[in-house]
């Protein structure tokens, strides 16, 4: 059987060769032309389909479905740890610090004694004034008793009225001296109270500028530090807060935030919950010449932070809800954002972009773009292949990419 087949093939080949050799040149040229045209047509069709694939809804890899989705945007901004209230405890009296009852970092209560000035001179004056006042009171009592005895004798004419009047003048002078001593004693007690420095509120001792032996007065400074003022003995603050200088463009995003956390810049793994205390009613200019609004933020746990420490504030905005589509599928037409419907004509559907994160864009749902809407991820409809496009750089690059493929596949 194989021999018969080989004989048939050999005879057929000799017959075709004999006919081809005996044929006229016109027939040979016509046959070659037909073969050449057929080859060019097949190759052209192959290159057309490779270089310009059609975008139709039958190609599921280029079409996706819009589904309800939401994204959470995060704002990171730097801030500084500042006190909510900072008070310089000063002395209104001249003197030297005698005793410090607290140290830096101590918790203090409202009215707690934190420092005392030297009060030896005041105590001596108070003792002397008290002794004088006691003597005058005793004298006043004796004078009053004597007046009670003389009054009946004066009424009977035994003692002249002039003597009684002199006696009453002496009683009046004694009372004047008593009133003067009582006033001086009140002033000394006031000075003594001014020498006792107490905390005006519950807080923490931040810094101490004057130590035992330091002379302070309303006209001198207890420390060379810029943070101290004249007669400053120590600083006390109530609680720690974060102050961030927010650009005007994101102030409302921060105010409408869903969650706020604060982390030290040295260890961002620490996340402390926080909340907005107040927005300051003024605008400042940063070193970058940008207008900013200071915002004070309360922190739930101040233990990981120190006064003046730099922190990183993470602000989670309220999630944006809408239809989720691939970001690269958004196209622009006539200055508007839109999606291309997954059909042969790739109809443009205008959409409103709400936000973007991680390659997903949230668009607002409307009548033409609803959940289940099929959109193209190609981006734009391909143009017809012109000869200049074919021989252009893009066409040559595509042709080069497809050279390894078999055109007969």
283-334 pLDDT, tens per residue? 998 888 889 999 999 999 988 998 899 999 999 888 888 999 999 899 999 9
Q: Both 282 and 370 in a single domain?
A: no
Q: What is the pLDDT of residue 27?
A: 61
Write 39-46 long-range contacts (CB < 8 A, 24+).
42/407, 42/408, 43/407, 46/407
Selection from 331, 326, 378, 379 nearest residue 356 by Cα: 326
> How many Cα atoms within 13 Å fall on the side-chain side of residue 235?
17
Q: What is the pLDDT of residue 337?
A: 93
Asked whether the beta carbons of 310 and 66 are under 8 A apart, the reply is no
Q: What is the pLDDT of residue 387?
A: 45
DSSP 24: -
Q: Both 231 and 102 in a single domain?
A: yes
Final residue in a domain of this structure, among 174, 194, 214: 194
Asked whether the beta carbons of 257 and 88 are under 8 A apart, the reply is no
- Residue 215 token pair: 């002379």
Domain contains 90:
yes
Task: Inform me whether the pLDDT recorded for 58 exceeds 50.
Answer: no
Instruction: Provide φ and ψ at 118, rounded to 5°.
Output: -65, 120
Q: Both 239 and 285 in a single domain?
A: yes
Q: How many domains does the chain have?
A: 4
Banded pLDDT at 408 (limits 50, 70, 90): very low
Banded pLDDT at 48 (limits 50, 70, 90): low
Q: Both 355 and 262 in a single domain?
A: no
Q: Which residues, at least 6 apart from 144, have a Cβ–Cβ distance to it below 8 Å? A: 171
Looking up residue 89, the CATH number of its domain turns out to be 2.40.30.170
Q: What is the pLDDT of residue 26?
A: 65
Looking up residue 350, the CATH number of its domain turns out to be 2.40.420.20
Task: Inform me whether the pLDDT recorded for 15 exceeds 90.
Answer: no
The secondary element (H helix, E strand) that includes residue 330 is none
Q: In what order do the strands lie in the sheet with 196-198?
A: 196-198, 113-117, 95-100, 215-216
- Classify 151 as helix, strand or coil: helix
Q: Both 166 and 288 in a single domain?
A: no
Q: What is the residue range of 175's domain?
A: 119-194
Q: Both 176 and 257 in a single domain?
A: no
Q: Both 280 and 392 in a single domain?
A: no
The percentage of the chain sitting over the pLDDT mark of 70, rounded to a whole number, equals 75
Selection from 378, 362, 380, 367 nearest residue 66 by Cα: 362
Pairing of strands 320-326, 67-71: antiparallel
106-110, 150-154, 374-378, range with greatest mean pLDDT: 106-110
Q: Both 9 and 109 in a single domain?
A: no
Say how many C-beta atoms besides its own lie within 10 A of residue 273's C-beta.
12
Q: Where are the alpha helices (DSSP H) in 281-338?
A: none
Q: Both 179 and 219 in a single domain?
A: no
- Residue 263 token pair: 């982390």
Q: Both 344 and 242 in a single domain?
A: no
Range in 46-60, 132-146, 381-395 with the lowest mean pLDDT: 381-395
Domain contains 381:
no
Final residue in a domain of this structure, among 297, 318, 339: 318
Q: What is the pLDDT of residue 114?
A: 93
Selection from 240, 223, 273, 279 nearest residue 256 by Cα: 279
Record the pTM. 0.54
Q: What is the pLDDT of residue 38?
A: 67
Q: Both 371 and 395 in a single domain?
A: no
- Classify 111 as helix, strand or coil: coil
The secondary element (H helix, E strand) that includes residue 190 is helix 161-194
């Amino acid at each position: 059987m194989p021999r018969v087949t080989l004989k048939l093939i050999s005879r057929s080949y000799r017959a075709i060769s004999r006919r081809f050799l005996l044929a006229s040149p016109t027939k040979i040229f016509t046959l070659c032309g037909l073969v050449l045209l057929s080859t060019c047509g097949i190759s052209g069709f192959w290159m057309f389909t490779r270089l310009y694939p059609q975008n139709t809804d039958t190609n599921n890899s280029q079409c996706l479905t819009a589904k309800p989705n939401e994204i959470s945007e995060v704002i990171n901004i730097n801030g500084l740890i500042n006190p909510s209230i900072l008070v310089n405890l000063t002395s209104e009296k001249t003197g030297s610090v005698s005793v410090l009852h607290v140290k830096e970092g101590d918790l203090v209560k409202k009215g707690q004694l934190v420092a005392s000035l030297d009060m030896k001179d005041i105590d001596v004056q108070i003792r002397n004034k008290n002794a004088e006042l006691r003597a005058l009171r005793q004298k006043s009592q004796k004078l009053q008793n004597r007046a009670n005895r003389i009054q009946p004798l004066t009424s009977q004419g035994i003692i002249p009225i002039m003597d009684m009047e002199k006696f009453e003048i002496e009683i009046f002078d004694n009372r004047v001296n008593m009133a003067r001593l009582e006033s001086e004693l009140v002033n000394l007690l006031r000075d003594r109270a001014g020498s006792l420095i107490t905390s005006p509120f519950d807080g923490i001792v931040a810094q101490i500028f004057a130590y035992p032996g330091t002379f302070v007065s309303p006209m001198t400074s207890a420390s060379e530090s810029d943070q101290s003022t004249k007669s400053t003995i120590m600083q006390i603050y109530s609680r720690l807060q974060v102050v961030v200088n927010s650009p005007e463009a994101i102030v409302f995003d921060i105010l409408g935030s869903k969650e706020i956390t604060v982390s030290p810049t040295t260890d961002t793994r620490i996340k402390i919950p926080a909340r907005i205390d107040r927005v300051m009613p003024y605008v400042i200019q940063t070193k970058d010449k940008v207008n900013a609004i200071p915002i004070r933020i309360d922190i739930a746990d101040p233990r990981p932070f120190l006064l003046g420490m730099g922190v990183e504030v993470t602000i989670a905005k309220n999630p944006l809800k809408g239809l989720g589509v691939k970001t690269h599928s958004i196209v622009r037409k006539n200055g508007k954002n839109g999606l291309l419907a997954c059909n042969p004509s790739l109809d443009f559907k205008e959409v409103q972009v709400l936000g973007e994160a991680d390659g997903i864009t949230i668009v607002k749902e409307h009548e033409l773009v609803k959940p289940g809407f099929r959109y193209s991820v190609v981006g734009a409809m391909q143009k017809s292949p012109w000869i200049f496009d074919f021989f252009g750089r893009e066409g040559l690059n595509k042709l080069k990419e497809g050279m390894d493929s078999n055109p007969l596949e």
